[in-house]
Chain A
Amino acid sequence: MSLEDSPSLEDFSDDFLSPPPDKADKKKRFSVTLVALVLLIVILLGINFAQSGAYAQLAGKGSLSGYAVNESGDAILVEIFVFGTDIAGLSGDDGYFEIENIPAGERSIIIAYGDIATEKIASINAGAKTDLGSVTVPTELETDY
């Protein structure tokens, strides 16, 4: 194309260049997106934290007590484990047990006589003692060791 045939600058005066984007509008949209994303991440992190062991620690600790008896109602010496933790304890000869510093929440409590155990679900509240009452622990169950 010769120079003479080339379009003049006037030919492009209306729509050669689209109008520049509104910088303020673009910035606003980005800010809204970013704030929404940060809010979503904060909420998700919150849920994640609430499900973690660290939250249980911060939520506080409570204690648990009860009496272990056999099928005849006689007091027995048992071992107690809080499932999912390293917390464990022993009852006295009178069957009474008390376990402290259990993270608050629904806890599975394993109460064992020898190698056979029973499970109780206890609701542990921060700063409070949950009483399981009398717990019958099987002592004559057929074993499968």
Chain B
Amino acid sequence: MKKGKELSGQGLVEYALILAGVALAAILILNISGISVRETYCKAVIALGGKACDENKDCSFAFDDSSDLDAWESNSGNELSLEDGKACITGDGKSAQSYMNSRCTDSLLSDDYSISLSGVTVDEVIDNDKNTGFDTWFRAKDDNNGYLFIYNSRTDYVRFWKVVNGKWVRLSQKKVPANWGNQELNFKIDVKGDTFTAYQDGEEILQASDGAYTDGEIGMRNKPSSKSCIGDISVENISE
């Protein structure tokens, strides 16, 4: 009788050891292959008809309510302003202002995403030798480290930059029509793997490749001497 009990207990320990080992191996495999456990879990939940992850997937700001401004943190302490259903940043003529959004990135299922910005307008508000234009941060650690897609309305260029410790490495550039400064712009930036593609009104305008930063926040940035306004921003994961 005593021997029988010992055999039963030993069997449980054996099964527990194997289960723990399989779990550890699975975690290590996911870790090594770079697959997000959360992403995998959420995909499974969605496939089974669940909505918990689906609800968090969307990250959009229509800027028709002041609560849409809460997620954006400024590097200068200034706040975004709401004007006619748009979020606006007004430059001081000295330095650019960045507004980072950590909440948006946290809710995304992966680091491959598409940023859509509609109704973007840029106006020169201070007449000096500083730049005017609107930029978009992506995969940024902070406003000194990450990638930038920029539109410079003073020089009529769009560019992709990699920023490291506040030092700018140019990845690609393209001259754009001078009349962009007088119209509403609708940008889309696809961030997929190490390839970044920018579109304006659905037309591809610029591409760059770099693998330094694999994750991070999104953000918007106004150049020193301009006032930039944005109608809507939405960020969605790019489906495979």
Contact assessment for A47 and B32 in the assembled complex, using a CB-CB cutoff below 8 Å: yes
Give per-residue flags for A103-145: 1 if the beta carbon is below 8 A from chain B beta carbons, else 0.
0000010101001111100000000000000000010011111
Known: A144-B168, A145-B223. A83 touches B212 (CB 8 A): yes
Return chain B residues, CB-CB under 8 Å to A45. 28
CA distance A81 to B135 in the complex (A): 25
Indicate which residue in A37, A44, A119, A145 contacts B32 across the interface (CB closer than 8 Å). A44
Q: Give the Cβ gap from A26 to chain B, nearest Cβ, in Å.
A: 9
Whether A115 pairs with B32 at a CB distance below 8 angstroms is: no
Closest to A86 in B: B165
B 144-180 contacts with A by CB, 8 A: 148, 150, 152, 155, 157, 159, 161-162, 164-170
B219 within 8 A of A: no
Give the contact-size bracket for chain B. Answer: 35 or more
Residues of chain A within 8 A of B168, CB atoms compared:
115-117, 143-145
Q: How many residues of A contact B (CB 8 A)?
A: 31
CB atoms of A37 and B25 under 8 A apart: yes
Whether the Cβ atoms of B161 and A41 lie closer than 8 Å is no
A48 at the B interface (CB under 8 A): yes
Distance in angstroms from B185 CB to nearest chain A CB is 16
Interface residue? B131 (CB, 8 A): yes
**Contact B170–A40 (Cβ < 8 Å):** no
* Cβ A30 vs Cβ B169 within 8 A: no
Decide if A79 is an interface residue (CB 8 Å cutoff): yes
**Is A101 close to B, CB under 8 A?**
no
B18-A83 in contact (CB<8A) = no
**How far does the alpha carbon of A142 sit from the alpha carbon of B168 in the complex, in Å?**
11
A115-B22 in contact (CB<8A): no
Do the beta carbons of A118 and B31 come within 8 Å of each other? no
Q: Which residue of A lies closest to B95 (CB)?
A: A145
Q: Residues of B contacting A37 with CB < 8 Å?
A: 18, 21-22, 25
Residues in A whose Cβ lies below 8 Å from that of B169: 110, 117-119
Shortest Cβ distance from B99 into chain A, in angstroms?
Answer: 16
> Is A144's CB under 8 angstroms from B159's CB?
yes
* A33 interface residue per 8 A CB criterion: yes
Cβ-defined contact, A144 with B152, below 8 A? yes
| Chain A residue contacts of B155, Cβ below 8 A | 142
Whether B25 lies near A119 (C-beta < 8 A) is no
- B48 an interface residue at 8 Å Cβ cutoff? no
Are B28 and A141 in contact, with the CB atoms below 8 A?
no
Least Cβ–Cβ distance between A31 and chain B, in angstroms: 10
Interface string of B206-228 (1 = CB under 8 A from A): 00000010000000000110000
Given contacts A41-B24, A48-B28, A144-B223, contact A33 B18 (CB under 8 A): yes
B167 touches A44 (CB 8 A): no
Q: Is B21 within 8 A of A145, CB to CB? A: no
State the B residues within 8 Å of A (CB). 14, 17-18, 21-22, 24-25, 28-29, 31-32, 95-96, 130-131, 133, 135, 148, 150, 152, 155, 157, 159, 161-162, 164-170, 212, 223-224
Q: Please, could you name 16 A-B residue pairs with CB atoms under 8 Å apart, sorted by A?
A: A34-B14, A34-B17, A37-B21, A37-B22, A37-B25, A40-B21, A40-B25, A44-B25, A48-B31, A84-B212, A110-B164, A110-B165, A112-B167, A117-B168, A141-B170, A144-B148
Q: Which 5 A-B pairs give the minimum distances between C-beta atoms?
A: A44-B28, A112-B167, A117-B167, A37-B21, A144-B150
Which chain A residues have a beta carbon within 8 Å of chain B's beta carbons? 30, 33-34, 37-38, 40-41, 44-45, 47-48, 51, 79, 81, 83-84, 88, 108, 110, 112, 115-119, 138, 141-145
